[in-house]
Structure 1
Amino acid sequence: MRSLRRRSMFVVALLCGAALLTARPTAAGGEPGDGAGADSGLSTRVARLYEDAAAATQRYETGRHAAEAKQVEVRRLEELLGRERRETAVLREDLGRIARAQYRTGGGLPVVAQMLLAADPERLMRGQHLFSQAHLALGNAMEKSRRAETRLAADEARAVEAWQEVERRRVELADLKKGIEDKLEQARWALQGQADASVAAGACRGAVRLDQPPTRVTGEWVTPVETYTLSAGFGSGGDRWVNRHTGQDFAVPIGTPVRAVGAGRVVRVACGGAFGIQVVIRQADGYCTQYAHLAAVTVDQGERVTAGQWIGQSGASGNSTGPHLHFEVRVTPELGSSIDPVPWLAERGVPVA
């Protein structure tokens, strides 16, 4: 009896364990997942490097504007130096003229000799007075010239130092910006490598939870990426499409945060095929939007999203010629029901240009 009871308890334990295994969450695409995924650190690193790069670019631009202001100041200083150089040249000329005049009027004789050769006291006094005036004028001119030379040398040194500071700051900021951008580029392609591996396996890594900064969205609709360059448009032809292009492409670097254009529910997260890693959202108004060729996803199937919320990171997974976001608007979640997304967004107050 005791053996039967133990055997029954063992069977119950096995059934509970099987139920727990069955209830484990699955990753996008139906494969067993690990929630955030073991490689979520790379997605987080890319997102943080984007923030660092943006901050470095801001510092670079601030420094560039400061350098431009400094350059204006240096140019004013150089104009002042130009005037000082001209004034100094005039003083030197005046000094030479006074010295030559003194030599001519004094004949090069010392004062004692002029006094001995003077014909009468009045003439002597007049000559001595003129000599004193000339000597004073010469002394004043020499002192003025000396001060001008000293000021000119100091201002020239200040101008050189100012230019050196401008160049030093520019190089520092450029090196800082380039260093972060190089790290970001390496992390981007590492992230894309993970995405390619997921697509090849046909199983996504699961949602990566990123710390999204406070959203600046004020309306009900937004563009799927904040900054972009438009590439292939809806209906365009090409060798990479069976018929016509079914969406609008936004050329953006790998790892760019991709946003839900409006509030809705995630109806599909999948990997594999021509679209690579993709997310499909059913919007509140019934239309469906697709975000394809991603490098990572940050939402799970069935999750509700808001306008502007990050739902993934752009990439070049699937049938892609390079990093970009393929964005579609569909009547149903399925391929083949797409409409032109540009006028669709424009109707919702989101012009795309």
Structure 2
Amino acid sequence: MRFTRRHPLLTVVLLCALAVLAARPADGDGFPAPGHGSASGVGAEVARLYEEAATATERYETGRREAEEQRARARRLEERLDRERRETAGLHEELGRIASSQYRDGGGLPLTAHMLLADDPEELMRGQRAVRQAEMSLDKAIGRSERAEARLARDEAEADAAWRRLEKRNTELAALREDIERKLEAARWKLQGQADASVTAGACRGAVRLDQPRTRFTTSWVAPVETYELSASYGSGGAQWANRHTGQDFAVPIGTPVRAVGAGTVVRVSCGGAFGIEIVLRHADGYYTQYAHLAAVAVDQGERVWPGQWIGQSGTSGNSTGPHLHFEARITPETGSAVPPVPWLARRGVSL
């Protein structure tokens, strides 16, 4: 009977659970809820491939440096042997001159006869000692040269084997790097395709959390991207802008991690319009920074960020002529309040 009394309560609980499940959107319907973007999405794949490409490049460059060092060692060995060969050849010539002199002076006679016939026996003995010393020096030089030849042959064999291993490894690393870069390029444009769809729809896909390496910065301010080329600058003119350019452009490939230049709060994440996908941060000193033409965002509105934190990935969304990051420093969160960003960063210790 006790079971019967509890049964109606259990039924109510099950019905409520079913109602909640029915109210949830099915997997793949709409965009991920803010703050719950998948870490296995295209943006995360691009970030992962960036790290793999950087690692492969570093290993390849290490191998290339080792190969150069191996070549330098081989050149040093060859130069050392050449010096020893020249020294031995010089001794051979010296001995030849002494032998020729002895022959002209009757070198075929016994030493006793030479001494009896010599005008100066002591000088004759000195000459004989010089010949013996030259012969001994030559023998030593020949022995040293033979040992050097053997050592060089051994070193050259080892160097050649090491060189072949390095060449094989470098070839494999180059192929690995090219494969990663091909995958990265395909993933970049897939990510940009998603960004373009978001801009067309006017709705962001939601934050895609990236597995960022924990980098400890010693400064409170950093550049918005790690590796870049500066392109359009603040105040420059062009057909693509209604007035003057209001920020500093950083030419970087699609999917490049974009960093918060300083600690702050995300006050805007938007998709659509001339800036495409953009993020605006408010900093403690009252200034704002904008990051535009993104391909993906990695933070949500209202979120606190630290200096150097990855907040998104660069792209070419909105009014953009090619992959780059558009960066602005502002006195308000709105367009039209921008200040020159390069000196703004310079005053905070960031030189571009």
When normalised by structure 1's length, the TM-score is: 0.73
Opposite residue 324 of structure 2, the aligned amino acid is H
2:279 aligned with 1:289, yes or no? no
Aligned to 1:208: 208
Q: State the distance in 1 between where 2:147 and 2:256 align.
A: 55
Q: State the distance in 1 between where 2:185 and 2:239 align.
A: 27
Aligned to 1:147: 143
Aligned to 1:33: 32
Aligned residue among 168, 186, 198 for 2:195: 198
- Larger CA deviation: 209-218 vs 130-139: 130-139
CA RMSD of aligned residues (A): 4.3
**Is the Cα–Cα contact under 8 Å of residues 231 and 251 in structure 2 kept in the other structure?**
yes
Cα deviation 1:275-329 (Å, max 9, x = unaligned): 2222222333343321112222111223222222110112222322222111122
Secondary structure at the counterpart of residue 342 of structure 2: helix
Aligned to 1:179: 176
Secondary structure at the counterpart of residue 40 of structure 1: coil
Summarize the alignment of residues 112-261 of structure 1 with structure 2, pairs less than 5 Å apart. 123=113, 140=136, 143-144=139-140, 146-154=142-150, 156-157=152-153, 158=155, 162=159, 165=162, 169=166, 172-173=169-170, 176=173, 179-180=176-177, 182-184=179-181, 186-200=183-197, 201-202=200-201, 203-261=203-261
Aligned to 1:44: 44
Q: State the distance in 1 between where 2:132 and 2:195 align.
A: 93
Aligned residues: percent identity? 55
Aligned length: 329
Q: State the distance in 2 between where 1:20 and 1:264 align.
A: 36
> How far does residue 259 in structure 1 lie from its aligned partner after superposition?
1.0
Q: State the distance in 1 between where 2:133 and 2:345 align.
A: 83
> How far does residue 182 in structure 1 lie from its aligned partner after superposition?
5.0
Secondary structure at the counterpart of residue 48 of structure 2: helix
**Is the Cα–Cα contact under 8 Å of residues 195 and 295 in structure 2 kept in the other structure?**
no
Q: State the distance in 2 between where 1:142 and 1:305 align.
A: 77
Opposite residue 192 of structure 1, the aligned amino acid is W
Q: State the distance in 1 between where 2:281 and 2:268 align.
A: 7
**Is the Cα–Cα contact under 8 Å of residues 71 and 163 in structure 1 kept in the other structure?**
no
Q: State the distance in 2 between where 1:258 and 1:39 align.
A: 17
User: Unaligned stretches of 5+ in structure 1?
Assistant: 108-113, 116-120
> CA, structure 1 residues 189+317, in 2 after alignment: closer, same or farther (shift >3 Å)?
farther
When normalised by structure 2's length, the TM-score is: 0.73
Opposite residue 207 of structure 1, the aligned amino acid is A
**Is the Cα–Cα contact under 8 Å of residues 46 and 184 in structure 1 kept in the other structure?**
no
> How far does residue 87 in structure 1 lie from its aligned partner after superposition?
0.7
> How far does residue 185 in structure 1 lie from its aligned partner after superposition?
5.1
Cα deviation 1:126-182 (Å, max 9, x = unaligned): 79x989979966864663353144134235433685477468647744762573265
Secondary structure at the counterpart of residue 204 of structure 2: coil
Summarize the alignment of residues 67-82 of structure 1 with structure 2, pairs less than 5 Å apart. 73-82=73-82
> How far does residue 230 in structure 1 lie from its aligned partner after superposition?
1.5
> CA, structure 1 residues 167+328, in 2 after alignment: closer, same or farther (shift >3 Å)?
farther
Summarize the alignment of residues 4-23 of structure 1 with structure 2, pairs less than 5 Å apart. 16-17=19-20, 20-21=23-24
> CA, structure 1 residues 123+262, in 2 after alignment: closer, same or farther (shift >3 Å)?
closer
**Is the Cα–Cα contact under 8 Å of residues 260 and 305 in structure 2 kept in the other structure?**
yes
Q: State the distance in 2 between where 1:18 and 1:41 align.
A: 24
Q: State the distance in 1 between where 2:145 and 2:344 align.
A: 72
> CA, structure 1 residues 326+178, in 2 after alignment: closer, same or farther (shift >3 Å)?
farther
